[in-house]
Each structure stands twice: as C-alpha cells, then as structure tokens.
Amino acid sequence: MKYLLLTFILVFSGCSTKNYEHTQTKIIIIKSPKLKFADVAYLRHNEEKIELEIFVAGTAVEKIAINHLICVSEGCMSKSNFNQDYLHASYPEDMLQNVLLGKSIYDGQNRVKSAEGFEQKIQNATVDIEYKVAAHLISFKDKKNGILLKLKDTNE
C-alpha cells in the first residue's frame, strides 16, 4: 500500500512541477477595463507556457498563466475569451503572449526596426496601437480602447 502511495505521489508531483527556462523580474503597469496594476511582477516562460505573477506591496495579487488557455484567479478561458473580457475582442488570440515576450503583433504589420528593437503602429476601425520593444522596455498602448501594458526590467 505504501508503495502504491509513493508511486502515486511521484507520478503526480512530476506533472505539477513547473520548469521555466527564463525567469525575469519586471516593473509592470497594466491598465485595462478589468485589470489595473502597477508594481513588480515575475515573468516566467519556456517554449510551451508563460506565467506572469503580479505583486502589489509585496503580496502576490494575480497570476496569469498562458499555454493553450489563459488562466487567471477567476478561472481558465480561451485566448479569444480572455481578450474579449480583459483586453479587446478584436485582438488576435496570441496578443498577450506576444507582448509579454516582446514579439511582433498582428503578424508583424507595420513593423519598423529601431536601434534597440522595433516599433509597430496599427490603426484601424477598432484599435489605435503604439507598440515598442527595446532592450529593457516593452510598451503597448491602445489609445482607442484605453489599454496600456508596460514591462520594464528592474535592473535598469
């Protein structure tokens, strides 16, 4: 019986272990209709998943986990449902993960290389986005929908 219990613990604890290849401490600002934070966050990721743990006054207040779904304290949902509830319904499904990792959005539309990274300006009937990625700063601002997301390295 104890071997069965030991086997059970080993098998299921191995599945719950989170192995992230990259962990970074960031100063984060998020302003959207449903999210408002300005403090420190840990950004952890590997090839398959991303986790953003947000702190306010030293206390973890929100964890956003992204893989095939996006999970927040209220539960897990599809990426398109997350965009609809937390950001804007017209955003591509991979918008949040691309911004968090400093990758191009909207399939690289209007991407202009800069000295330290790149910039994108996207304007259409539903968005007015200025997105900048530099060595130590990621800045996403959608003026039309009142959404701001900034991530800055803490060592800069």
Query: What confidence tens digit (pLDDT) does each residue in 95-128 have?
Result: 999 999 999 999 999 999 998 999 999 999 999 9
At 64-102, the pLDDT tens digits run 999 999 999 889 999 999 999 999 999 999 999 999 999
**More confident position, 26 or 14:** 26
H helices of 37-86, in order, are 79-86
Whole-number Å distance between alpha carbons of 39 and 27: 6
State the residue for tokens 């998943």: 49
Q: For 21, phi and psi rounded to 5 degrees?
A: -75, -30
Whole-number Å distance between alpha carbons of 95 and 97: 6
Residue 13 pLDDT level (bands cut at 50, 70, 90) = very low
State the residue for tokens 């000295």: 115
Amino acid at site 87 = L
Amino acid at site 21 = E
